[in-house]
Structure 1
Amino acid sequence: MCRAIPLCRCSTAGMVSGSLHGAVAGRRPVPGWLAQVYGDDSLVTEVDGVHAEDAGADGVAGVPTSSSTAPGLMADMLDALDVSPGTRVLEIGTGTGYNAALLCALAGPGAVTTVDRSERLTSAARDRLAALGLFPTVRCGDGAEGAPGEEPFERIVATCSVRRIPQAWIDQCAPGGLMVVPLKGTLAGGMIARLQKLPDGTAAGRLMHTPAAFMPLLSGPEMDSKIPEPADGTHRDSALSGSVLDDWTFSFFAQMHMTATTERAHRWEADGRHVTTLYDPMDGSLTRVTDREPGQGVAAATVLGSGPRDLWTPVEEAHQHWLGLHRPRREWFTITATPEQQTMSYVTPDARVLRWGL
């Protein structure tokens, strides 16, 4: 049980989500700001490197690059992390500093290290934490590298998502220690893994039930993630609507059948039809799946493909596989990470072990 940490002391501004992120001023606690801060939703705090405190009154358009995690999800992750007084904790993704404040309240003085990529973020968080009488080690650096020189840590928690768990995090976790890490899905089927460091250096554990979509870990040069418009190509019918990927349970399963570089964009048209676009920048494969209008035949959708591969075929095959396995839930899957490979596994009711590489 930790003492209360006032969230408003760790957030001085935020942005309301949307195609244009509107600033909610917070230097004075106006009602609109407090409602956003204390709501159980993620709060965007930076868009394309522009922090909310620096945004104009008209808002900022772009891609969110930092946020404050929904408080309820923070609580679930901290509960899974199982921090007690004196536990040495590493947090990847300082953000506003609120989660670091909670970790300080749980672990006590001198036990928490938190890392973020931005000097702007870490400096502001350090000041906010100090104003609360909390003094964790706040480092500016590449989160993928952890906190070299300060290991071992008994607990590691990330507030950003990764496709694979960085080996540095596993190396810096003490034997028997726990890690709670959001895993990024190529199809937005995000998940949270809880792993324990074993004596042989392997990290192994299970996925948590809670679905989660976190900001991706920014490490190294950033890539343009814009999905192009598909050129005219092959057309075919599909019995599967692109909206099937809005089911987090299935999208989690489907993405294990896709390349790690596959990206997804989706929208609903004004007439209610769903449109999903899949793109793999590694080979230029591009596939768009558009719902048919009612009365246009028995097929659910039309598939337009360009490039060397039809990206919808693996989704269709995964859907049949998923149904055949009776729609397994994410918490039934285990994860194992070694220096050589990271693997997701599922044991079927008839004792078959299925494995997928991350």
Structure 2
Amino acid sequence: MTDHEQLRAALDAAMDQRGAWPERAPWIRQAVGAVPRHRFAPDQLWRWDGRAYVPVGRGADPERWAAEVYGSPDTAAVTQISDGLPSSSLSCQAVVVDMLDSLLVEPGQRVLELGTGTGWNAALLSHRAGPGQVVSVEVDAELAAAAAERLTTAGANVAVHLGDGSTGWPMGAPYDRVISTYAVDRVPWAWIEQTRPGGRIVTPWGRLGHVALTVADDGRSASGWVQGLATFMPVRGTSRARDFAQVRGDGPAADERPVTRDLTPLQADWHLRFALRVALPEVQVTLAEDDDGLNAWLHDGASSWAVLSAIGDGRTSATQGGPRRLADELEAAWDEWLRLGEPELYDYGLTVEPDGQYAWCRDADTGRRWPVSGEPAA
């Protein structure tokens, strides 16, 4: 057994042990077995060494390279760095499998993929939908050309086009299934327009999870539930957010007060974290522990900030500044989540209409709603 085969077998077993292979879609495990990840990985990958991303070459260090490709179910292999940060990856296997399971693709269906990347996901889709049934759009010319070559070498008949995924690919519409491999804060209306009534759209949303939307019979809306939790790269062209230090500046704080609640759920409860992301989508939360306890840094990327500082003996102090009071907003959103009965992330969903879109909890028509802010997607 070669190194690749051993690593593939170990990853397959790890997926099996945690129940990550979906029972309702056995084709996914078969496709992953038939379409090896390493055939779609570039010769140079990137690994975080604790300070920066460093290259890992297939020729120079084949064992390290293979280990990057076949890491744990939750480990992505970084394939491109831009301005010191990852801009493309061979997504972690567990997330790829989960999203394909959510897509409910059937043989013979027409599939549109936004974000070709390495081409591996497109190859898996083609294995299921059939030759000539998958159209993939990639904004990066170099990535598109490399993916097209890999797909051809693998015998996958996939049409790869260079273009902006936010506009879909109208020349091949309508599609039965649409899947995005990058995160959007607002779902482009073009995706709904290019999907058949009753068709399904799966996309990472809000960089914290992915949703599966079903297009209404009249084609004038799409709605569906959150399917899983993961962190995704944003759409290309997304401006890099200001960090906490830039937002905080060196001016004085506006106020300081004690915090009476235990902050532990902020770190331990991802359902709470997801609920806060829905209620406060622009607020970034960073956590760290020290000898005194758990600390949190909050900022809105613009001009407001807050620090929740552990000061020992189970006490926490909130310091905040800027036009908004982010510590107060976070606690108010947290209290609302408690009043709603601590809903899980799977209790949330998203509805997209021509003139707006909103997240909801438990029921799209009668449940609590939160408008999705930002400019309407094209």
TM category (shorter chain) comes to 0.7 to 0.9
Alpha-carbon separation, structure 2, partners of 1:174 and 1:255: 30
CA contact (8 A) 2:244 2:298 kept: no
Distance 1:164 1:243, change over 3 A: farther
Alpha-carbon separation, structure 2, partners of 1:140 and 1:240: 51
Alpha-carbon separation, structure 2, partners of 1:27 and 1:109: 33
Deviations 1:314-346 (A, max 9, x none): 211121222222211111223211112212222
Deviations 1:207-264 (A, max 9, x none): 11x2111101124xx4231314223212222234666433321111112222x43333
Distance 1:134 1:27, change over 3 A: farther
Partner of 1:280: 300
Q: Pairwise mapping of residues 187-226 of structure 1 onto structure 2 (< 5 A)? A: 190-201=208-219, 202-208=221-227, 210-219=228-237, 222-226=238-242
Distance 1:275 1:107, change over 3 A: same
Aligned-residue offset at 1:102: 0.4
Q: Pairwise mapping of residues 174-323 of structure 1 onto structure 2 (< 5 A)? A: 174-185=196-207, 190-201=208-219, 202-208=221-227, 210-219=228-237, 222-229=238-245, 230=248, 231=250, 232-233=252-253, 234-240=255-261, 244-246=265-267, 247-258=269-280, 260-264=281-285, 266-268=286-288, 271=291, 273-282=293-302, 284-292=303-311, 294-295=312-313, 299=315, 301-323=316-338
Higher deviation after alignment, 167-176 or 328-337: 328-337
Q: For 1:256, what is the secondary structure of its paired residue? A: helix
Partner of 1:339: 354
Instruction: Name the amino acid aligned to 2:45.
Output: G
Partner of 1:42: 76
Partner of 1:24: 56
Aligned partner of 2:46 among 15, 18, 34: 15
Alpha-carbon separation, structure 1, partners of 2:58 and 2:168: 31
Structure 2 runs not aligned, ≥5 long: 1-26, 373-378
Distance 1:352 1:180, change over 3 A: closer
Distance 1:101 1:347, change over 3 A: closer
* Percent identity of paired positions between Structure 1 and Structure 2: 32
Aligned-residue offset at 1:100: 0.8
Alpha-carbon separation, structure 1, partners of 2:198 and 2:224: 12
CA contact (8 A) 1:241 1:290 kept: no
Partner of 1:75: 97
Deviations 1:82-111 (A, max 9, x none): 222221111111111110110111111111
Deviations 1:36-81 (A, max 9, x none): 21222112222226xxxxxxxxxxxx22211221112211111121
Count how many residue pairs are aligned between Structure 1 and Structure 2: 330
Q: For 1:326, what is the secondary structure of its paired residue? A: coil
Q: State the TM-score, normalizing by the size of structure 2.
A: 0.81
Instruction: Name the amino acid aligned to 1:355.
Output: R
CA contact (8 A) 2:113 2:178 kept: yes
Task: Report the structure, 1 or 2, having the larger helix content.
Answer: 2
Q: For 2:155, what is the secondary structure of its paired residue? A: coil
Aligned partner of 1:134 among 156, 160, 173: 156
Q: Does 1:327 align with 2:345?
A: no
Alpha-carbon separation, structure 2, partners of 1:226 and 1:274: 23
Partner of 1:54: none
**RMSD, aligned α-carbons:** 2.3
CA contact (8 A) 1:278 1:311 kept: yes
Alpha-carbon separation, structure 2, partners of 1:199 and 1:110: 26
Q: For 2:273, what is the secondary structure of its paired residue? A: helix
Alpha-carbon separation, structure 2, partners of 1:28 and 1:177: 46
Alpha-carbon separation, structure 1, partners of 2:309 and 2:171: 51
Alpha-carbon separation, structure 1, partners of 2:320 and 2:145: 47
Alpha-carbon separation, structure 2, partners of 1:44 and 1:243: 31
Q: State the TM-score, normalizing by the size of structure 1.
A: 0.85
CA contact (8 A) 2:258 2:317 kept: yes
Aligned-residue offset at 1:29: 7.8
Alpha-carbon separation, structure 1, partners of 2:292 and 2:144: 43
Q: For 1:149, what is the secondary structure of its paired residue? A: helix
Alpha-carbon separation, structure 2, partners of 1:174 and 1:130: 28
Q: Pairwise mapping of residues 47-196 of structure 1 onto structure 2 (< 5 A)? A: 47-48=81-82, 62-185=84-207, 190-196=208-214
Distance 1:347 1:310, change over 3 A: same
Q: Does 1:33 align with 2:97?
A: no
